[in-house]
Amino acid sequence: MSQKLQFQTLKIYPRPVTGRFNRWRVGFVAVTQLVFFLLPWLMWNGRPAVRFDFGTMRGYLFDLVLLPQDLIYLAGTLILSALGLFLWTTLAGRLWCGFSCPQTVYTQIMLWIEQVFEGPQRTRRLRDAGPWTPEKILRKTASQGAMAVFALWTGLTLVGYFSPMRPMVARLAEGMLGPWETGFALGYAAFTWLLAGHLREAVCKHMCPYARFQGVMYDRDTLHVTYDPTRGEPRGALRRSTPAAARPQGDCVDCGLCVQVCPAGIDIRQGLQYECINCGLCIDACDPVMDKTGRPRGLIRFSTQNALESGQPPLGWLQRPRALFYSGLMIVCSAVMGVGLYLHAPFKVDVLRDRAVFARENEAGEIENAYTLRIFNTRGEHRHYRVRLEGAPGVRLEGAGGFQVPADADGSFVVTVAAQPETLSSGSHPLRFVVEDAADPLRTVEAHAPFLMP
Ligand code: SF4
Ligand code: SF4
C-alpha cells in the first residue's frame, strides 16, 4: 500500500504547453522517428539502403559496403559522436537530452498516447488516485495496449536494421518469424515500454550515466535554462489593483506554471539542477505570463552563470577555448574519415600463402609459391579483376588476367607465383599483389605476402 502511494506521489503529470521550444521538441520527435521507422524500408540498388548483416559480417550504408576490416569507420563514428556530445554539452548543457535522446523522445510519445486514451493531466492524476472503476480499467487497458503496440513496432523496426524488413514483415504475417528476430524485437519492445512508458524521467535522473558526468563538461559559460532571480525575486502574486510602478515584488508572479509543465518535475527557480534536461518548456510557460503581466520576456531563459552575474550577453562559440578545442578535434576527425571514405575501394583483397608447401620446382625449372587470393566484391554487380605483382623483380603470376567475382560476394582463387632460381637470393622476399577492377582500373587495392626462395 505504502509503495503504491509512493509511486503515485512520484509520478509526474506534466501539463501540456505550446511555444517555440515545444515546437522544436515536436519537430525533433517527428524527424528522428520518421528516419528511424522509414529507413529499414528504403531500398537502394536492389538491397536495403541501411543494413547490418551479422551473418555475412557486412554493413550496407547506401552505396557503401563495410566489411570487418572497416571497423575503423565505426570507431571513427563513435569518436565523432562522443566529441559532438562533449561540444554540445559544453555549449548548451543537456540539450541532447531535452530534444533528441531516444528516452526523451519515446517518453514524449508515450505521454501523447496516455493523453489520448486517459485524458488531460489533471484528469489522469485524479483518476490514478481514485479507485479502480470499469472506466479506469478500460482506459488503462487501451492506453497500455497502444503503448505495447507502439513498443512492439519499435522493436521490430530495430531488428529491421539487421534483417531485411520486407521479408521479415511477410514472415511475421505468416507467423514464421525466426527465434532471434522474435527475441530481439520483444526484448527491445519490453525496454521501450518499461523505460519510456513507465520509468520515464526516473531513467534520466537515476539511471542515465550522462546525467552524472555532464557536470564535468559544464563551466560558467555553458548555456542552460536559468531563472533570473534578480528579476524574479521577491516573487509574489500580482495584485491588479496596485499600479505596476508601485508593485514591490519581482517579476515572478508565482503562478507555478513553470513547475507544472516540467517533465522532470523540478522547480527551475531553485537554481541549476542536474535533473534539468534543458527542454525549455518552462520558458514556453513563463514567457506568456510575462506578456500578460506587461514584463519583458526572458525571466526564464537560456543563459550562463557568468552572463547572469555580469549582465553581459553569453559568450559565443568562438569565444570559448574548450568549444574551439572540441570543434578542432571534430574537424580533424571528420576530415580523416571523409578522405578515407572517398578513397574507400568497393572491393577488398586478402592473400594467404599456402603454408603446406614451402616452395616447389615446376617443369620449367622455376621456383613456385602457391597463394590463395580472396577478393570481396562489395558492389551490387558482377565484377572482373586483374592482378599484377610488385616488389620482387623477375617473379611471374600465373593467370593474372581474369578473376570473376559475382555481385556482393567473395571469390577465392588459388594462384601461383614463379621465379627463376637465379633471379632471387635465398630467403623471404616481400610481394605486393596489386588488384584492379578491370572496368575501373584507377581503383586498386594492395595485399602483401612473402615469396620464399629455397
Ligand atoms: S512561470 Fe514564470 S512567473 Fe510563473 S512561477 Fe514560473 S517563473 Fe514565476
Ligand atoms: S526546468 Fe525547464 S528546461 Fe529544465 S527540465 Fe524542467 S521544463 Fe525542462
Q: What is the mean pLDDT of the chain?
A: 89
Provide the sign of the torsion angle of the four alpha carbons 392, 394, 399, 402, taken in this order.
positive
Question: Is residue 203 classed as helix, strand or coil in its secondary structure?
Answer: helix
Q: How confident is the model at residue 454 (pLDDT cuts 50, 70, 90)?
A: confident
Task: Specify the length of the chain in residues.
Answer: 454
Which residue's CA lies nearest to atom 2 of ligand 1?
A: 286
Query: Span 60-88, mean pLDDT?
Result: 89
Going from the Cα of 211 to the center of ligand 1, the distance in angstroms, rounded, reads 25
Cis amide bond preceding 120, omega within 30: no
In this predicted structure, the answer to whether residue 6 has a pLDDT above a threshold of 60 is: no
Q: Sorting pLDDT into bands at 50, 70 and 90, what band is 400?
A: low
Looking at all shown ligands, the one closest to residue 268's CA atom is: 2
Segment 406-447, tens digit of pLDDT: 988 889 998 999 999 888 888 999 999 999 988 888 888 999
Which of 78, 59, 77, 61 lies closest to 69, judged by CA?
59
Instruction: Give the closest residue to 310 by CA, choosing from 378, 243, 228.
Output: 228
Query: Residue 391: what pLDDT?
Result: 80
Higher-pLDDT residue of 198, 398: 198
The proportion of the chain whose per-residue pLDDT surpasses 90, expressed as a percent, equals 60
* pLDDT at site 1: 39
For 140-152, how does the pLDDT look when each residue is reduced to its tens digit (9 = 90+)? Answer: 999 999 999 999 9
Distance, in Å, from the CA atom of 47 to the CA atom of 349, rounded to the nearest integer, reads 23
185-221 tens-digit pLDDT: 999 999 999 999 999 988 888 888 887 777 788 889 9
Q: Name, in order, each residue with C-beta under 8 angstroms of 57's C-beta and a sequence gap of 6 or more.
A: 67, 68
Alpha-carbon span 433 to 271, nearest angstrom = 65
Q: Which residues line ligand 2 (CB under 6 A)?
A: 225, 261-264, 266, 268, 276-282
Tell me which residue of 398, 399, 448 sits closest to 428, measured CA to CA: 448
Predicted confidence band of residue 8 (pLDDT cuts 50, 70, 90): very low
Pick the residue whose CA is nearest to atom 5 on ligand 2.
276
Instruction: Say what the pLDDT of residue 3 is.
Output: 43
The string of DSSP codes covering 383-400 is EEEEEEEESSTTEEETT-
At residue 106, the pLDDT reads 94
Residue of 134, 107, 111, 105 whose CA lies nearest to 124: 111
pLDDT score recorded for residue 401: 64
Type of residue at 339: V
**Candidate of 17, 107, 223, 262 to mutate for ligand 2, largest count of ligand atoms within 8 Å of Cβ:** 262
User: Which ligand has the minimum distance to the alpha carbon of residue 257?
Assistant: 1
**How many CB atoms are closer than 10 A to CB 274?**
15
Burial 382-410 (b: 16+ CB within 10 A, else e): ebebebebebbeebebeebeebebeebeb
Residue scoring higher pLDDT (322 or 56): 322
Continuous H helices in 93-164: 95-99, 102-118, 121-129, 134-159
The predicted pLDDT at position 399 comes to 66
For residues 319-336, give the mean pLDDT.
94
* Tens digits of residue pLDDT in 97-121: 888 899 999 999 999 999 999 999 9
Closest atom of ligand 1 relative to the 259 alpha carbon: 6
Is the minimum distance from the CB of 256 to ligand 1 under 6 angstroms? yes
Confidence at residue 390, expressed as pLDDT on a 0 to 100 scale:
87
C-alpha closest to that of 435 among 415, 408, 453: 415
Residue 208: count other Cβ atoms within 10 Å of its Cβ. Answer: 17
CA 379/CA 69 separation, integer angstroms = 16
- From the CA of 98, the nearest ligand is 2
CA nearest neighbour of 276 among 287, 262, 286: 262
Of 288, 281, 287, nearest in space to 264 by CA = 281
Grid look-up 514567457 returns 287
User: Residue 346 corresponds to which cell in the numbers above?
Assistant: 568497393
CATH 1.20.120.350 matches 347-453: no
Sequence ranges of the domains in the chain:
2-41+93-216, 219-313, 347-453
How many other β-carbons are positioned within 10 Å of the β-carbon of residue 115? 16
Q: How far is the CA of 112 from the centre of ligand 1 (A)?
A: 25
CA atoms within 13 A on the CB side of 342: 6
Least confident of 33-42, 239-248, 254-263, 412-421: 239-248
pLDDT digits (tens, 9 = 90+) for 265-294: 999 999 988 889 999 999 999 999 999 988
pLDDT at 5 over 60: no
The answer to whether 277 and 94 have CB atoms below 8 angstroms apart is yes
CA–CA separation, 29 and 27 (whole Å): 5
